[in-house]
Amino acid sequence: MSEIKFPIYLDHHATTPVDPRVLDEMIPYFTEKFGNASSLDHTFGYDASIAVEEAREIIANAIGARHDEIVFTSGATESDNIALLGTMSKYADRGNHLITCVTEHKAILDTAKHLESLGKKVTYLKVNEYGEINLQELENTITSETVMISIMFANNEIGTIADIKSIGEIAHKHEVIFHTDAAQAVGHIPVDVGMMNIDLMSFSAHKMYGPKGIGALYVRGVKPRVKPDGLFHGGGQERNIRSGTLNVPGIVGFGKAMEIAVSEMDSENKKFKEWTDLMLSEFEKIGGKLNGHSTKRLSHNLNVYFPGIESKSIINSISKEIAISAGSACTTHVVEPSHVLLALGLDEDTTHYAIRIGLGRFNETNEIKFTVDKIYDVVKSLKKISV
């Protein structure tokens, strides 16, 4: 076990470091293999196009898709926008109703609000105390005007994993298109778009130790065939859904990151669960309470709150040694309560007590033990001050 290097990074839901194996795969495509994948008249372009298609095949196989169902984008936010705006536009003749959820990522919620400004109808399903929607309520909400359902696969704040297969079954039963934002799920837990009845799925490389600025949208090709309108107009790349010169080094890195993630997923999840179980058991001794579901959750996520102790006080006390995030979205001047934690039924004050710990591939046991001890001591000290 190596000596601890500070600060310890424990915010892997925000982003992950690029795995050195991924970087090694990418570097040639910045230098000697720098061709445009659309320039097929010479070897530079041809070699780039081959690399893109090999990565596309790896990514497709990892999620149970066909290679031609993978559309490369700049990341999950763009994929979410294409999925919602493009689908609601393409199938406007079917209806004008979208169903989503109050705990979605802002990339979905803000896009849904934009759709409302365009005259579309949006239903925002509520969740229970664990962050789960009610499947019967979902089905009851579907009308003859419903075009699509968009429900997140795994929540980025609390780690709760949705019953995606059942949601997809309900969608298909009513001939409704089903999209999921799977940015936190793909590469971390098994995903099979066919078995899970998924029609559109957004995900990003930088959440699985790949580079930033590259993501994908899975677009079902058959039964049913789905084709959202593109948001960009240009060279017709990516089946006219996402025109623009392909980010070849990013795509190559994405493919390698996915390959590694699939091969190491089981061992990483076993390790992460041991660590989060350890942390939670220790934090509960000083009053810590879990946010999210106790079992249906990402193994590398731990969102807890300590009643009466501001998350900002904890974070400021440990920031030189440990990087974690608050359970609320902070800006320079305003600390807003987390919309996810409010949706679970926590009051506004309690949302400001929450911290999110995101474990990662390159963390080590001694770092986790140090973190547990540090947060334990800080919380105990802050409790004495607050009495």
Query: Which residues are known catalytic residues?
Result: 330
Query: How many secondary structure helices (H) and strands (E) does the chain include?
Result: 12, 15
User: Distance (Å, rounded) from C-alpha 265 to C-alpha 278?
Assistant: 20
CA-closest candidate to residue 218, choices 163, 264, 265, 168: 168
CA-closest candidate to residue 196, choices 185, 205, 208: 185
Q: Alpha-carbon torsion 136, 142, 147, 152, what sign? A: negative
Task: Identify whether the C-beta of residue 348 lies closer than 8 Å to the C-beta of residue 341.
Answer: no
What the block records as the tokens of 201 is 């799925």
CA-closest candidate to residue 199, choices 221, 216, 230: 221
Task: Identify whether the C-beta of residue 200 lies closer than 8 Å to the C-beta of residue 87.
Answer: yes
What the block records as the tokens of 175 is 């001939």
User: Distance (Å, rounded) from C-alpha 319 to C-alpha 251?
Assistant: 34
Which amino acid type is present at position 357?
A: I
What the block records as the tokens of 89 is 């536009």
CA-closest candidate to residue 256, choices 214, 209, 216: 209
Pairing of strands 97-101, 146-150: parallel
What the block records as the tokens of 110 is 């803000």
User: Distance (Å, rounded) from C-alpha 299 to C-alpha 368?
Assistant: 14
